[in-house]
Amino acid sequence: MKFLIAALAATAAATPLIPELKADVQLDKRADPIACTIGYQYCGWVLIQDHGWSPDALKYALCDANKDCNFASAQPWDYIWNCTKKFTAAPGVFCKGDCLGPQAHCT
d(CA 74, CA 34): 22
In Å, what is the CA distance from 94 to each residue of 11, 14, 48, 91, 100?
59, 56, 16, 8, 12
Backbone φ, ψ for residue 16 (5° rounding)? -70, 145
pLDDT of residue 76: 92
**Measured distance CA(11)–CA(14) in Å, rounded:** 5
Give bridge partners of residue 94 from the DSSP assignment. Answer: 79
pLDDT 10s digits, 16-59: 444 444 444 444 445 689 999 999 999 999 999 999 999 999 99
Q: Where are the domains of the chain?
A: 2-106
